[in-house]
Amino acid sequence: MVFSDSSRVCPMDARRTCGSLLAALDVHPRIAMAILRHSRIALTMEIYTQVPDKVTRDALRRLGDWLDHDEDQGDEARR
């Protein structure tokens, strides 16, 4: 996939997205810190984590449920 210069993904943006998704999924902050390979919890919590509102959390939960359901369907189709 080729991106134009204006749509390049910055590694820090990807880390921030990952940290925010982990927070939305209620992953313990120390686990998120380890996944993001940070040495200080403050870096994880203050810079790389944005706690979403309830609507966003609900949407992420539905997405996870849908992906789980889709994966289950794939398993059945392979049998």
Q: Is residue 41 part of a domain?
A: yes
Range of the domain at 66: 9-78
Q: Is residue 52 part of a domain?
A: yes
Whether this prediction's pTM lies above 0.75 is answered by: no
Mean pLDDT (whole number) for 3-12 = 71
Sign for the pseudo-dihedral over CA of 31, 35, 39, 45: negative
What gap in Å lies between CA 33 and CA 39, rounded to an integer? Answer: 7
The residue behind tokens 């994880």 is: 44
Mean pLDDT (whole number) for 37-47 = 88
Compute CA 34 distance to the chain's CA centroid, rounded to the nearest angstrom.
14
Give CA separation, 11 vs 15, 48, 70, 76, 79, in Å: 6, 12, 29, 37, 39
Q: What is the pLDDT of residue 36?
A: 92
What gap in Å lies between CA 19 and CA 52, rounded to an integer? Answer: 11
- Give the chain's domain count: 1
Q: Is residue 1 part of a domain?
A: no
Mean pLDDT (whole number) for 33-62 = 85
